[in-house]
Amino acid sequence: MNNFIPSQNQLHHKSEQERVVLVGVYGMQYERDIADEYIQELELLAATAGGKTIEKFLQNRDHPEPSTYIGGGKLNEILEFVKAEQIDAIIFDDDLTATQSRNIEQRTKAKVLDRSNLILDIFASHAKTSAAKTQVELAQLEYLLPRLTRYWTHLSRQKGGIGTKGPGETQIETDRRLIGKRISMLKEKLRKLDKQRKVQRKGRVDNLRISLVGYTNAGKSSLMNALTESGVKVENKLFATLDSTVRKLRVGKEDVLLSDTVGFIRKLPHRLIESFKSTLDEIRESDLLLHVVDATSPLMDDYIKTVHETLREIGADQVPEIMIFNKIDGIQDAEFLAGLKRAYPDAIPASALRGMGLESIKEAVACRLEERYIEKELILPVEDQKVVSFLHDVAQIDKLKYHEDKISVHFKINRKYLGVLNGLLERSDKDLSYVK
């Protein structure tokens, strides 16, 4: 079954980049100017995968053509260009059906990829750990399954490159039953990895846990390096970070745990979100999110919306958030900056590159840190040492006094331990009460 395991970096062993053309459609969901921005993002995705964009094609359509997604005239125009310029691959900004992909390939004799296929290919290139490789392979196989017939024909013609870093490169006879079995094996492996991650996270329960989130390439890793003075890998590429990286950050007198997580992107394939569930749990179980935004991006508002939609999809939309406008040093327009402040009054302007705004971020985190705690005073029977022992373990005790038959204890406790404390008090038949 090893032929299913994604093979890495095939493209990067080639002496030349693959020549690609990009295809987008507008008019169905958004206008031409938005389509222009989206296809620029697709160009960056293609470059990250190792492709060189030679041309971009856009078509205005009210609905996709069932057989070829784009109209016949535009397809003929692309076909002529592909032949004249010796194009290796055609990449569509939207997902294609198996029929559409097959028909376009038959007409153009070029490799055809859609957005999900491209993103999965990039993830395959960047997966380094066992967990990341397993998660990517699962997503690739689930993408492959409904496209099986086209994929094997496609692989019999092509020799590596963008879109082929993945399972099943040598066995054309591999069928749905074998792939289904492999998918089950991968899901079981991820369940075991998920249990291990939960054990690791339990060991960090006493620390405030913060996750950096944001649109891909917003500068999360750079900000982590600036805040923690660590050496997290930083690349000007999409999805350079796949596995969560955790570093300690000193805030006041306390250490908090800061996690750098995978970047979000519009139309992030749902199968990737599902397979990366255990990695994304780091975000969902955080006490606080630092939402990093590239303030220089013309699609900033759209990217913020995409991040919030993704957080909602993974069940992390209720986690408190601090928004950080990164790369603020790249904005010289005072009027734009003033408008940004009016629109997002609580956001923190920063520059990871210049070290700007770092203290403001730490101060905001410190304020949220204080909000986690509540001051209480408890009076309980002198023989009830179980509660006192619990408070010594998890709370900051400011004052402890023994009286004739009572103990009064004044303490500061993390709100998340109140449920456990109340459970201890409810199990007692003594007259226990909070003074404040």
Q: What percent of the chain has pLDDT over 70?
A: 81
| pLDDT above 50: residue 149 | yes
Instruction: Report the pLDDT value the prediction gives residue 155, as an integer from 0 to 100.
Output: 44
Instruction: Report the pLDDT value the prediction gives residue 83, as an integer from 0 to 100.
Output: 94
Task: Say if 206-370 and 373-434 have the same CATH topology.
Answer: no
Residue 244 pLDDT grade (very low, low, confident, very high; cuts 50, 70, 90) = low
Instruction: Report the pLDDT value the prediction gives residue 270, as an integer from 0 to 100.
Output: 72
Q: What does the alpha-carbon distance between residue 38 and residue 326 come to, in Å, rounded to a whole number?
A: 21
Over residues 53-57, the mean pLDDT reads 96
Q: Radius of gyration (Cα) for the chain, nearest Å?
A: 26
CATH code of the domain occupying 206-370: 3.40.50.300
| pLDDT above 90: residue 112 | yes
Instruction: Report the pLDDT value the prediction gives residue 203, as an integer from 0 to 100.
Output: 52
Over residues 124-147, the mean pLDDT reads 81
Q: What does the alpha-carbon distance between residue 134 and residue 275 come to, in Å, rounded to a whole number?
A: 8
Residue 147 pLDDT grade (very low, low, confident, very high; cuts 50, 70, 90) = confident
Residue 386 pLDDT grade (very low, low, confident, very high; cuts 50, 70, 90) = confident
Which of the two residues, 60 and 267, has the higher pLDDT score?
60
> Dihedral through CA 26, CA 27, CA 28, CA 33, nearest 10?
50
Sole residue written with tokens 């060991």: 203
Q: What percent of the chain has pLDDT over 90?
A: 31
Q: What does the alpha-carbon distance between residue 200 and residue 387 come to, in Å, rounded to a whole number?
A: 27
Q: What does the alpha-carbon distance between residue 334 and residue 288 come to, in Å, rounded to a whole number?
A: 30
- Name the least confident of 81-85, 270-274, 292-296, 405-409: 270-274
| pLDDT above 60: residue 333 | yes
User: Phi and psi for 234 in degrees, rounded to 5?
Assistant: -125, 125
- Name the least confident of 28-42, 53-67, 95-109: 28-42
Instruction: Report the pLDDT value the prediction gives residue 69, as an integer from 0 to 100.
Output: 94
| pLDDT above 70: residue 86 | yes
Residue 246 pLDDT grade (very low, low, confident, very high; cuts 50, 70, 90) = confident
| pLDDT above 60: residue 241 | no
CATH 1.10.443.10 assigned to domain 2-157? The reply is no
Instruction: Report the pLDDT value the prediction gives residue 378, as an integer from 0 to 100.
Output: 86
The Cβ-side half-sphere exposure at 328, using a 13 Å CA radius, reads: 22
Instruction: Report the pLDDT value the prediction gives residue 356, as an integer from 0 to 100.
Output: 95
Read off the tokens for 333.
């327009």
Phi-psi region of 163 (alpha: psi -120 to 50; beta: other; left: phi over 0): left
Instruction: Report the pLDDT value the prediction gives residue 5, as an integer from 0 to 100.
Output: 38
Which of the two residues, 260 and 173, has the higher pLDDT score?
260
Instruction: Report the pLDDT value the prediction gives residue 344, as an integer from 0 to 100.
Output: 94
Over residues 256-282, the mean pLDDT reads 77
Right CATH for 373-434 from 3.40.190, 3.10.450, 3.50.70, 3.30.70: 3.30.70
For 3-44, how does the pLDDT look when each residue is reduced to its tens digit (9 = 90+)? Answer: 443 333 434 434 468 999 999 999 877 788 888 888 988 998
Which of the two residues, 427 and 430, has the higher pLDDT score?
427
Residue 394 pLDDT grade (very low, low, confident, very high; cuts 50, 70, 90) = confident
Instruction: Report the pLDDT value the prediction gives residue 89, as an integer from 0 to 100.
Output: 94
Report whether 429 contacts 394 (CB < 8 A). no
Which of the two residues, 28 and 80, has the higher pLDDT score?
80
Instruction: Report the pLDDT value the prediction gives residue 163, as an integer from 0 to 100.
Output: 64
Instruction: Report the pLDDT value the prediction gives residue 156, as an integer from 0 to 100.
Output: 44
Instruction: Report the pLDDT value the prediction gives residue 1, as an integer from 0 to 100.
Output: 40
- Name the least confident of 230-244, 298-312, 347-361: 230-244
Average pLDDT, the chain: 81
Domain boundaries defined on the chain: 2-157, 206-370, 373-434
Instruction: Report the pLDDT value the prediction gives residue 240, as an integer from 0 to 100.
Output: 56
- Nearest-5° angle of CA 57, CA 59, CA 63? 140
